[in-house]
Amino acid sequence: MEQLMRNFFLFLAKNKSLTNLAKRYGLRFGAGRFVAGATLESSITAIKRLNEKGMPVTIDHLGEFVDNEREAAEMTQHCIDAIKAISKEKLDSQLSLKMTSMGLDISDELVLSNMRKIMDAATKHNVFITIDMEDYSRCEKTLEIFKMLKSEYDNISTVIQAYLYRSLEDVQTLDEYHPNLRLVKGAYKEPQTVAYPEKSDVDNNFKKLIETHLLNGNYTAIATHDDEIIQYTKDLVEKHKIPYDQFEFQMLYGIRVERQDQLMQEGYKMRIYVPYGNDWYGYFMRRLAERPANVVFVLKGVFGK
């Protein structure tokens, strides 16, 4: 049943008609629980509230798959404006972005030009950038561009998805760059030819990635809401005397808030992934697919508690 619901929400995530409808009607029907606001300006209050609690964030302007240079230029400028806002508002925040929004599917020259503009601004304002990983078809290209940019800039990281068979090899290959990596389970629907179909196999691979990257001495962001993975990380860190400043936990805005608070109170760095923007629909559906229990929160948002 859970797998059926996951497939259903992933199907809805790709529905362009529903995406356009969602943009038209805004953050209704429970999405406001997971998305901080339609604009960065409207999200700053939520970000500052998290910072005041002692939680750093990474912000993400929602939007994917631009297919022309004008839209890619607009998204690039939005990232630069967000970097400036982080600096101006003195937010304890990083910036996450998807390279499909910067022209990844249009040309290598375009996406590299746009990414260097963003990285130049980020370096100037001392803001850290994470390149989100997207679906499997874009994985190799994303890592190639990350390697190029990592050789030019220090303040950049990317994401490795545990459900892909290739990910352990990717972590080992990237070690020569001493990268900061965010490790996640993965939220796209992929065929069994490239991704583990069973949750138990994904979890086991996730643990291998965490162990490998931490024991290689690299900074590791463990992005999960899964108590088993969290406990595994705690035990690994204790066993190998890994310093707390070599890793952090990351969770999504609005999900398992009490657990976020608990981890912070236990002395762990707890970063919150804060999305914002009108193009929230695909992100929202993937969150429901990842954790069908989130549907309960949506229903409460629609019908009241």
Q: Which residues are catalytic?
A: 132, 182
Rounded to whole angstroms, the Cα distance separating 130 from 137 reads 19
The Cβ-side half-sphere exposure at 197, using a 13 Å CA radius, reads 6
Rounded to whole angstroms, the Cα distance separating 106 from 132 reads 18
Can you read off the two tokens belonging to residue 205?
């691979």
Nearest Cα to Cα of residue 270 among 37, 79, 123, 50: 50
Q: Residue 225 in contact with residue 256, Cβ under 8 Å?
A: yes
Identity of the residue numbered 277: G
Nearest Cα to Cα of residue 179 among 206, 162, 155: 155
Nearest Cα to Cα of residue 276 among 26, 9, 21: 26
Identity of the residue numbered 63: G
Q: Residue 115 in contact with residue 94, Cβ under 8 Å?
A: no
Identity of the residue numbered 131: I
Q: Residue 31 in contact with residue 19, Cβ under 8 Å?
A: no
The 3-state DSSP class for residue 193 equals coil
Q: What are phi and psi of 5, to 5 degrees?
A: -65, -40
